[in-house]
Structure 1
Amino acid sequence: MNTRHTDTPTPEILPLPAFNDNYIWTLRAGKNVAVVDPGDAAVVEDYINRHGLSLTAILITHHHADHTGGVLALTATRGIPVFGPASEDIAGVTHPVSEGGRVSLDALGISFDVLEVPGHTRTHIAYLAPGVLFPGDTLFSAGCGRLLGGTAEQLHASLQRLADLPAQTRVYCTHEYTLANLRFACAAEPENAERDDWQRHCERERAAGRPTLPSTIGQEKLINPFLRTDSDQLLGALTEHVGHRPANALECFTELRRWKDVF
């Protein structure tokens, strides 16, 4: 997959903090910028105005208001494409996309494949370019989204699909949930040296006012309990929590998600 044009620099990817813990991801090349899941228009407008940028596109992963709330305001005076899941009626989406679709951001020199990754919601999508993944609320560092419309079976399958991506793929999650997720990960898998190293790294980053993201697929496979349902440590802790040993990976994932919901 070609991610750049010869006359366009590779986009820089930076987060705009919004609300309590959201990130609106920006892709910037020169004076052109696209944004992913802009729940707050004011945050984006401030960034654009401060840097003299031109907003060229919006990418939406799912319908929740903290990911879509700024779309109509941002497009009120701009004739720009807004990409979003085709199977959901989201106000402001001009280019509905689905599995196998392609999003070409010519002004930024990058293109994305569309992946359907339901579970958190029934119609969730992700955007994938070589080395770059915007998973919305499907995958977090050390965690995953709640079931708010989809099923555990769907979310488990979606996460397994993402886990099969190249290890170096950078994961641009949409929430700064990492430290809270890691606290649960410590309970779910008491002994995990890689996870403990990642936790110390993330604590340093947050103490310095920096995001814990992006992570990578390879990192998540080492530390994310929802991608580690075959871990003996995790199975032991989960068996103690629920009172029986899960029969398979899906049951393990389902019980793990239930445990996290009340942790």
Structure 2
Amino acid sequence: MMSETRGALRVGSVPYLNARPLVRHLNPAQPPVMELRFEVPSRLTTLMEGGRLDVALLPSIEYFRSKGYRILPGISLSADGPVQSVCIFSKVPIERIRCLALDDSSRTSVALAKILLKRKLGSLPRLAVCSPDCRLRNIEADAALLIGDAAMRFYSQNAPFIMDLGEEWKKLTGLPFVYAMWVVRPGIDTRELEPKLLQARDEGVARIPGIAVEASRELGLSEEVCLNYLTNIMKYGLEERELEALRIFQGLAAQDGLCQGDAPLAVDH
């Protein structure tokens, strides 16, 4: 494979709590040298498409919408059941939702919500757009899809009705859901980067208690909530069950016209 000759690798991550174990101990100054930036998932996608990032912790739907991207092995942001950070918060029972406001900063979450609601309700409600930090009582829609740290804060406030997308996916498939993975665009040599990412992941997972304390102060969530989320809810591997879940997600998304159905899972080895 031909590779580009360039300086520092340009690497992008989401800024959310769930990614901290993957990037907290990722030292950009250690070889291979990198420039690390944090953006919401949809922005990472735009930067990758424009050639302004080489590697990104990219939403899984974007991999299936791309051409020529590769998945770096062994690492993901996934959950095997309820996830708490990707939820529909509703004023009415879920089956009575007529208008859903979407936080479109994560296209994977939007795609997953569409897939699950179509199969749960038989059809999609009317869709609108809301800001990532919207308040349910301040929007005209019956419900809102929120992700990341905003969803975590909302979850702890006990909205009247909550549909956890990770929980619904588990009911539908019996598998975990992969929210994001490290993805590299064509022509980038990542042979030195891959062990660095794996080492950062392992160090981060080993030091989750400290990450939880730090995140609690910054996000306004209790240490207990942060620790439970990072330890018991989020998973950071990419093994056969996660790969099978990705294949099923691709098939359902393609069936609903949300992505291509023929993009292979190109995982580096």
* TM-score of the two chains, using structure 2 as the length reference: 0.28
From the two aligned structures, give the one with the greater helix fraction: 2
* TM-score of the two chains, using structure 1 as the length reference: 0.29
